[in-house]
Structure 1
Amino acid sequence: EADAALHPLQDASLGSLTVYVVPETSSLLPQGISVYVGKHRGALVRAGGSLAALGTRLRQLSQVMAFPASSIAAALSDRAPDSQLGPGAGRHLKSSLGYEITFSLLNPDPRSHAVEWDIEDAVSRYVQPILDRLSLVANFSVDSQILYYAVLGVTPRFDKKSSSFLLSAHSLPHVINPVEARLGSNAASLYPVLNFLLYVPERSHSPLYIQDKDGAPVSTNAFHSPHWGGIMIYNVEAPASPKTSLPLHVKVDMGRVMEVFLAQLRLLFGLSREELPAEFLLESPGNEGLADWELDRLLWAHTVENIATVSTTLTSLAQLLDKIGNIVIKDDVASEVYRAVAAAQSAVAELATGHLHSAFQASKEAVTSSERAFFDPSLLHLLYFPDDQKFAIYIPLFLPMAVPILLSLAKIVREARQHKKEPTKMD
C-alpha cells in the first residue's frame, strides 16, 4: 500500500530512484524489515541507530536497484578480465535490436497422448505483459509449434525405488542438440532465438524427473541453457485402469508452465534476483513480470554493451582498412562512421547526465551505423582480396606467358654479347 501511495510522488523518468528514509520505529515497514524495495522506482529505508548503519543500508540498496561496477563487468563479460567477473557473468543475452521467442510442444508419443495447450491465451495473459515492458529494450516476435515424435535424444535411467525415470545433471547438455535440429527456427532468423520447450514424455519413460548435481529432484522439473532457452518436462498421470483407451487426452496447465518459462526468461536477460539480507523485502512485480527499476538496470546494461560494441566494431574496421592500402572509402561509408562516433559520444554524455532513455536510443543508433559501415558491400569484396591473394591468383596466369618471353630476351642478350666478342673483318 505504501508503494502505491508513494508512486505518484516519485520521479517517473527512466533511471531515477527515490529513497524515503523513515524513523526506526515507523510502522510503515513490517517488523524485522529495514529496507523495502517497491516495484516502481522507490524504496523505504529505516534510519537506523546511526549514520553508519544508514549508510550501510543505502549501499546495499544501491547494489540491488542501481547499476554497480559488478553489473558493468557482467555487461562487458566478453571484454572484461575473468578476475572481475562474477559467477553468473556471461550467462545473460547479448544486446540485440530484436529477439524471437518460440514456444514448442514436444509430443514424442502422439499415439498415447493427445496433448492440448492453449498457447495463444497463455501468451496473451502471461508473456505479453512483460514483453510490453521490454519493448523499450528491443523488438519481440512470438511464435509456437507442435512437434510430434520428437525425442530428447538421451535415454533416462530407471530408478526402482521411486519407480520413475531420471535425467541426471551431466546428461542435460546432451538433450539440446538433438532437439534443436527439429526446431528449425534459427536458420531463417535475423535475431537471437529464445526456445522454450514443453516436453511430454512417452508412456515408456513416464514419469520423468530431472535431478540436480546433488542428485535431488528439481522442483520445477525444468532447466535452462544460457543464450538458448529452457526445457520443462510435463508428466502425465497414468490412467487408473490399464484398459483405458488411447490416446489419453491431456490438457496442459499453462499457468504452471508459464510461471517456469517466465522465470527462465528473466534469467536469460540477467534479471535474476540475488540473495538479499533477511532485513530486505522486495515487492513482487505482479502480472507485468518486471519492476520499473529492473527495466532501468536492463537499459543501463544494454546501453553500456552497445557503446562497447560500437567501439569494437569501429576499431576492427580501422585495423582492416590499415591493412589494405588501395581501398577506397565511399562518402556514404564515411558518413556512417561519423554518425556512429557522434551517436556513441552522445550516448556517453547522456549517461553521464542520467538521461537513460535518450542514451539507450543513441547507443542503438550508433550500433546500427557502425554495422552498416563495417558490412558495406563496397568494402566486403576488397576485404577478401589482399595483395598476397592477388599474386596467388595472377601469377599462375602470367607465368606461362612470361617464361618464353624471358627465354627469348635471354637468348637475344647472349647473342648480342657474342657478337661484340667476335673480331671485325677488314677487307
Structure 2
Amino acid sequence: MSANHEDSESSQTAMTSKPSASSLPPPEKPNAIQTRFGVVAAFWAVILFLGFPIWWKTTSIYRAELPIQEMLDWAGGKSCRPVFPLEIRFDTPSLPDLEAQQLLRITQHTLDDLNEFSAHHLRLKLADEEAQQATEKADTALTVRLLAQDDLSSPRSLLDADTTTLDVFYPPSQIPPPSSSISPLSSYIAGELQRLFAEEKAIMAHILSNNAMGANVNTPQSPNSQAQQQISPQLAESITRRLRRSMKYAETYHLAFSLFTPGSAPSSWDIESAVQAYISPLVQVLSPISNFTIDTQVQLYASFSPTTPPPEYDETQQVWTLKEENLSAFINAAEWPLNPSIGSGPTINFILYVPAPSQSPLLVNEGKATSWIIPQWGGVFILNPPSIPTSESTKGNPPHLPANALTPAFLTFSHQLLSLLGTPQTPTSLPLRLQTLIRIRAATLLLSASSTMGSLARLTESLPSIPIPATVASSVSATLSHLSSACDSLRQGRFMAALASARVAETEAERSFFEKSMVGQMYFPDEHKVAVYLPLLGPIGVPLVLGLVKEIRRVVVGWKARRG
C-alpha cells in the first residue's frame, strides 16, 4: 500500500511540474534582444544628443556680464565722495590788486575756520583770476561786490532778490594792511556768506547722512557728523518736514491747473495769460532740473464731498471758515476730475476754488489764510471774487475771471510749486535758491542712481535664475559712466554739468533695474518649474528609465556569467 501511495504522489508531482514549466515564456532570441537594446539605445540617443541640447538651448537664460564689484563700490560710497565746492567771485573795482588779494586771503582763512562740513565749502576767487581761467570753469555760485562808502562806521550788505549778487558796503578804513592776518571786514563777509548758505549746508548734511555713500564718510569724527550736530533742532525739523512734503524727483512733471466752482459761474478764466506771466518763466528756469507740461480745466457744479464738514459762519468777522483739521478732506476726489498721473511723470495739481456767493468770503479759520499745500500732491487757493447782481434780490459770481483777478492765486501757485519741488526757503534771492536746488538735485540723483546700482548687483547675485539681457548691461555701463562724470563735475564745481550727468544716470539706472524680462522672472521660483515639467516628463520618463535599468541589469548579469 505504501509503495502504491508513493507512486501516486510522485506521479501527481510530475503532473503539476509539467504545467508550470510550460507556463514560462520561451527564451529570447539573440536578434530580439539586440532589437530591444537598439530601440532603448535609439530613444536615449535622441534624448541625449537631440532633445537635451534643444531643451538646453531653448530654455537657457542669458545673463550678460555686469561689473558687480564696481556697482557695489558705487553703492557703498567707495567710488565717489560727493563734494560741493561753491565758487564765490570777488568783484573789487575800487581796490588795488594787492589789497584785494590780501582781503580775499584773510576772508578765505576765516571761512575755513568757521566751516566744519568739508563736503560743502566756499572757494573765493577774484573776478580777474576767473576771467583768465579755461573755458570749463566752475559755476559761479555768488558774486560779492565790494563798494566803499566813506559815511559808514561798519559794513553792511544787500542781496539782490533777482540776481546772485551780494553788495557789501564798507568803510575804507577797514581794508586790512598787507601784514595783517585778521580784519573786521573779512570776518563780516565770512559771516554773511555762512549765513546765506547755512540752509543749503544743512540740507546737504541731512542728505548725505541718510545715504550709504554719505554714511561711508559719516563716522563720529567725520565732518558730516560734526555738521549734523551743529544744525539746530528747529532747522533739522524744518528740513525734514519740507523734504517729506516735496515731490519725489521725476524727469517730467505735469502741472494741472483746475478751476472749480459749486455753481455755473465763473465758467471761464484768462488762464493762458496767467500761466505765461507767472508759471512759464519759472518753468523755464527749472528746465535744467526737470521737464514740465501744463494742462488746464474748468469744472462747474463741483460740490464738496458729503463726508466733508461744511463751512461754518463766523458772526464776529462775517466770514465763512474751514477748520484746519478738515482741509485734508477738502478735495472731493470721488467726483472732481483730478487725474493722479498723466503719462509717465507725476501730476502736481493746483486747485483754484471759487465758493458760492452764499458762502463767500471763505477762509481757513486758523490764520484766515486762503491757500494751503497738500504734501506730495499740489496746492489749493480759495478765490473770493466780488459778487455781481444777477437779479433784483440775488447776487452771483462773475462769469469770467480776468488776468488781474488771477494774480494773487498764481503768485501763490508759483511759491507752492517751488516748495513742492524742494526749493529751500533761504536766501531771499530766487536765483540763489534755484542754484541750491540744482545742487540738491544733483546730489540726490547721484546717490539714488548709485543706490540702484547696488540693489541691482545684490539682486542678480541672489537670484541666479533671472535673465540679464544685453540692454541691462548697456544701461548699467551708461549709468556708471555718467555717475563718474557727475562726480568729477561736482569736484570741479560745475553743478549744471553734474546735474545733467546725474539725470541721465538716474534714468538709465531705473531702466536697468525695472527691465520687464527681469521683473517677470523674479517671482518664478524653482518649485514652479518642477510643477510644469513633472506632468509632462513623468509619463514619458518612467518607461524609458525602467527600460534602461533593465538593459543595464541584463548586461551586468551577462558579464558576470561570462566571467564565472
Provide the TM-score with structure 1 as the length reference: 0.76
CA RMSD of aligned residues (A): 3.8
Aligned twin of 1:103:
257
What's the secondary structure of 2:336's corresponding residue? helix
What's the secondary structure of 2:266's corresponding residue? strand
Structure-2 change in CA distance of 1:334 and 1:198 (3 Å)? same
**Larger Cα Rg: Structure 1 or Structure 2?**
2
Deviation at 1:159, TM superposition (A): 1.9
Aligned twin of 1:192:
346
Structure-2 change in CA distance of 1:133 and 1:151 (3 Å)? same
| Equivalent pairs, count | 379
Separation in 2 of the partners of 1:241 and 1:368?
55
1:75-131 C-alpha deviation (Å, 9 max, x unpaired): 569758998744133133332211111110001111xx3343100111112211111
1:174-219 C-alpha deviation (Å, 9 max, x unpaired): 223x24762333243311211111001123422211133xxx312x
Q: How does 1:13-412 map to 2 (within 5 A)?
A: 14-23=139-148, 25=150, 34-38=156-160, 39-46=162-169, 51=183, 54-55=186-187, 57-65=189-197, 68-73=200-205, 79=211, 85-89=236-240, 90=243, 91-110=245-264, 113-153=265-305, 154=308, 155-176=310-331, 178-179=332-333, 182-212=336-366, 216-218=367-369, 221-239=370-388, 243-244=392-393, 248-252=397-401, 253-274=405-426, 282=428, 290-291=430-431, 293-388=432-527, 390=529, 393-394=531-532
CA contact (8 A) 1:93 1:268 kept: yes
The one-letter code matched in structure 1 to 2:143 is T
Structure-2 change in CA distance of 1:397 and 1:67 (3 Å)? farther
CA contact (8 A) 1:156 1:165 kept: yes
1:273-325 C-alpha deviation (Å, 9 max, x unpaired): 34x7xxxxx56xxxxxx42x222211101110110110121111112212212
The one-letter code matched in structure 2 to 1:35 is S
The one-letter code matched in structure 2 to 1:88 is I
Separation in 1 of the partners of 2:495 and 2:200?
15
CA contact (8 A) 2:388 2:398 kept: no
Deviation at 1:250, TM superposition (A): 4.3
CA contact (8 A) 2:154 2:170 kept: no
Separation in 2 of the partners of 1:104 and 1:13?
42
Separation in 1 of the partners of 2:384 and 2:155?
40
With 258-267 and 47-56 compared, the bigger mean Cα shift is at: 47-56
With 149-158 and 130-139 compared, the bigger mean Cα shift is at: 149-158
Separation in 1 of the partners of 2:253 and 2:141?
27
Structure-2 change in CA distance of 1:64 and 1:386 (3 Å)? farther
Could you tell me which runs of 5 or more consecutive residues in structure 2 were left unpaired when the two chains were aligned.
1-91, 94-126, 131-136, 175-181, 216-227, 547-564
1:23-62 C-alpha deviation (Å, 9 max, x unpaired): 47567xxx99822222323212345867366435424424
What's the secondary structure of 2:259's corresponding residue? strand
1:61-81 C-alpha deviation (Å, 9 max, x unpaired): 244258843121455697589
What's the secondary structure of 1:151's corresponding residue? coil
With 223-232 and 322-331 compared, the bigger mean Cα shift is at: 322-331
CA contact (8 A) 1:93 1:269 kept: yes
Separation in 1 of the partners of 2:494 and 2:261?
48
Structure-2 change in CA distance of 1:104 and 1:180 (3 Å)? farther
Deviation at 1:137, TM superposition (A): 1.4
Deviation at 1:272, TM superposition (A): 4.7
Provide the TM-score with structure 2 as the length reference: 0.59
With 346-355 and 15-24 compared, the bigger mean Cα shift is at: 15-24
With 299-308 and 260-269 compared, the bigger mean Cα shift is at: 260-269
The one-letter code matched in structure 2 to 1:20 is R
The one-letter code matched in structure 1 to 2:373 is H
Aligned twin of 2:14:
none
1:227-246 C-alpha deviation (Å, 9 max, x unpaired): 21110111133456972567
Q: Percent identity?
A: 25
Structure-2 change in CA distance of 1:389 and 1:149 (3 Å)? farther
CA contact (8 A) 1:340 1:367 kept: yes
CA contact (8 A) 1:236 1:250 kept: no
Structure (1/2) with the larger helix percentage:
2
